[in-house]
Structure formats: C-alpha cells, structure tokens
Structure 1
Amino acid sequence: MNARFFFRAVSIWALSLMLVTLSYAQNPAPQRQYSEVMYHKLKPGHTLQEALAIEDEWKKIHQVQVDNGHLTGWYVITKAITSNPNQTAYDYITIKNFSDFGVFGNGYPQSHLEKVFGSSAKDKWEGLGKRTEAVKESVKMEIWEGVDAAWNEKQLPPDKSSIWVIDWMRVKDGKYAEYVALEQDMKKLHQERIKMNIITGWNLSALKYPAGSENGYDYATVNYYGSTKELGDGRYAEAFQKAMPGQDAKKLTDRIYQTRDLVRQEICVLRNFAVKQPSLAAK
C-alpha cells in the first residue's frame, strides 16, 4: 500500500477513535450498532464492473473480520434510481457495520490479513491497495448510528433483501424528538408490511459523524424489498389499517411532513456482502 493510501486510511480511523473516546468517557452507553458508509467514485477510464471485482477481493478480508466479530456485516450497493440531480457525485456505496468503535484504531488487524493472504500478506495487501486506488477513490465517509429497526423473524440472508429504498431526511428545527417518536410509532406499520411479505425489513439511523448543516440531512430510513415486484405492492392502506386501527393515515403523514423534509431518495441494488455464516448445527 502506498504512503498516501495508508495515511488517509489511518487518519480517518484515528480521528473517529478520538471523537468516540471523548464521547464514551463522558457518557458510557450500552453496545449499539454503527455503520461506516463510504461513497466511491470511479476514476476516468474505469468501469463499475472493475470496481465490483476489486470489492470482491476486499470481501475476503471483510468475511474474516465478520467471522472474528471485528465487524457485524459488510455490504456493497449501487444506485438504480436517484432523485439527486448530481448523479455523478458517487458511483457506489460500501457499508461496514460494527458495534465497537475500537475497529477504527485497528481497521485491518495483521492476523486477519495473514488469514487471507498467508505469509505474503504485506505484499498482497499493498498490491490490493494499489489496484483499488487505480480504479476508484473514496469521496466521502459518514458514520451512522442505528436508532430502530424491524426485520423478518426468519432472519433472511441479505440476498433475499436485494432492493434498498433509502430516504435521507433533514429534521426541522426543534422537531427532533417528535420526528423520532413518529418514526418509531410507524414501526408497527413496517412490522405489518413484513408480515404481509411486502418488505423484508426497515431501519432508522441517525448521522453521527460528521455533523453539520451543510450535510443537508441528519436521519435516514431504509426499506428492504426482496425484489422489484414488491416495490409496486399496492396494499399500503390495508397494512396501515391492520397496524394502526382507528388512525387517519393522511393526518399521520401530514404530521411527519411537519417534522422533516425528504432531501433525497435512492433505489439501490445489493451487489455483494459478508455476514456471519450460520453454523452447520443451525442449518
């Protein structure tokens, strides 16, 4: 790995670790779920197929990290449809889930690299870094914290939730608590939609780092679908009546709109992932 690539990676890990150390020292909290979201842009002359092939090499490392508990999951998604007028801002996204911020202090332990590359870990690791830099660059990184979620009780594998509809939200001043409460109340609706096999899961996350109004958003929701067929399912009203009897769907929707603005929506496709492999006994 060349010096520039290594310095940038270590700088990001060190900064995040410093911020989190200060936060935890002041206010110890129970274990939570976090996501490192990286936005990647292809370099001129290179294709998405090349980038996905490189990410397939990274998957080998991330799978070891997941199996060792260093990460809780790793995912690659690409845009299919976006409301963002600047569609070339990035080409695809990688997501690393974790529960311990200590991963930033040692993002890629030597033991994990050796398990993948063997005795020639140093040379192969540097070669992977050079090939990665030649194809794409990471243009932005964000850390998100999980707030709430609902999932299919069958614990479906990620490839059964291949379509992600992501909404980025900016909450209006003074409306944060009300917005989160409304989203959590709507969880009953998402659980009903899961029972009706419309979606496979839903989650709500808050942008943790970097903070700043220039981001344009501070919360995001993701609705997970098994295929594009479910995107057109017209049973929303039926699900609402079952989950929230006696409530007016329009009034509730209007209340939500009064607390936040939908900044951007994207429909993304899951292209790769690494998750904990079920044991033979579980199978």
Structure 2
Amino acid sequence: MSSTTTASPVRRRPGRGRSGHRGGSAFRRGYGPYVLELALVAVAVVFLFPVYALVTLALKDPRQIAESPLAPPAPPTLANFGDAWSSAKLGPALANSTVITATSLLLLVVLGSTAARFLAHRARGVGYGLYVLFLLGIVLPFQLGMIPLYELVDGLGWLGTYQGMVLFYTGIQLPFTVFLYTGFVRALPPDYAQAALIDGCDHRQAFTRVVFPLLRPVTGTVIILNAVFVWNDFFTPLLYLGGSDKETVPVGVFAFVGQYVSDHGLVFAGLVLAALPVLVVFALLQRYVIKGFAGGLKG
C-alpha cells in the first residue's frame, strides 16, 4: 500500500525576508568595521593636525611661512632649531626641568609605592582613613592652597631653588600616585610576598625584591603621567622660580615667545625642542599606561 505525504506549506513572517533586519545585520558585519575605521582615521587626523602644523612651521624659513604656512616645507631647514637653542637658552632650562622632574618622580615612586603597600593591606581602621584622605587630595584643587604654599616655601627660604619645586610637586602628585599604586597592589596575589617571607626575607626585602618588580606596569604609568604634569607646568615655576637661574622649560619658552613672536619659525622650533624630552619618555613607556590603569581598576 502506498501512502501519500503532503508537505505542509512554510509560513513566513510578514515583513521578514532577505531584505529585512537580517540584511541590516549583514550590513553591520560587512561595512561596520570599515565605517568604524574611517571614523577613527578622521579622529586621528584631527588630533595630529596641530602636531603637523607645529613641525611644519618649525622646518620653514620666514619666506615659506609667509607664502604657504601649512604646506609641506620645500626644502625643510634645520636652522631654526639651532637659532632657537642659542636664543632661548634652552640648554640651562632643559637641565633645570630634568633635575626637578627626575627628582620628583623618584620621590613619588618611592613614597607612593611604599604607602600603597601599607594601604592595600589595611582595608579597615587607620589604613582606610588614610586612603580616603589621599583621595580627598585628588578631588581638592591645589590652587586653593597656592598662597599658603607660597608662604611656606618662602619661610623655608626655598624660593628659586630645586628643593622648593620638588617639595611642591611631590606633595601635589602624591595622592594620585598612591591611588594608582594601591589599586594595582590590591590586584596582586599575596602569595609572592608570603613566599619571600618564608624564605627568610623581612618585609622590606620582600617588597623591594619581590613585590616592587611586579609593579612595573603601574610604575610606568606613574612616571609618564607625573612627568607630563611636572614638565609642562608653567604657572608654578613662574611663581616660585621667576627671575632666578632655575627657570624651567615652559618659563623659558614663554619669555622666548614674547621676544621672538614675529619670527614664527624660531618660536615653533623652540616649542618642538621643549616637547621632545617628554615625548621620548612617553614613547618608551607608553605600553605600560593601559596595563597600569587596567590593573588599578581591577583592584
């Protein structure tokens, strides 16, 4: 006996075909990444345009700047950099900024990591109160204490000296440094330090030989962020070092710009020379920035 099987018709939902929302999903899969890449390229062009203008004007003579300021230099000239170096006296200013920035960074790394080691393992009581106090130091603007700080430095006889600036920058940036270090230390497993203690190390040796090397990502982040702030700060060195032989790069460039404001090639060459050191530091340590923030947020 033969049996006949009748296939039931396939019902389609209204409005859903090959050109429905599946087509939109295919569009997102096919063209979405390209649209996102184009948007990122546009954003990159917007951010890189000031850098292009800065370098282009620094490599041009006055005639080229007058004819076409934003066109590529043809031919480029390096004479502006030599003239800017000698006219703006950037050599002593770079030395002053290097001493102040390096000393401040050293103190921030040592004090910040040590304080974070204590605060990360004292979640209650005094440790928690000190951590909240450091967080308040981030929220409160330091401009509110400029006059008392100035009087303090003046009373110590440290106006126009390296130690006055180092004391200022260390105190101002220490809360932010402790915040970054504390979050990263909390994310570290305590087994490493405990193993070092079992092997005969004291707490100082366990921290310096075992824990601190593990803090390399956040240390790179601390160095980059604090170096950019200290190196580029203008108002504080102008207030504390103005008129002395310890003026930093931003103060020296400010005086140079005011003197040679009509010669844009010299001005922009001086700005490039002033920005180069911190750009080099950022290029060397930039891969640690994301790692440091990621570890701190996870902690």
Place the TM-score, normalised by the shorter chain, in its bin: under 0.3
Q: TM-score, normalised by structure 2?
A: 0.22
- Structure (1/2) with the larger strand percentage: 1
For the pair shown, the structure with the greater C-alpha radius of gyration is 2
**Higher helix content, 1 or 2:** 2
User: What TM-score results when the alignment is normalised by the length of structure 1?
Assistant: 0.23
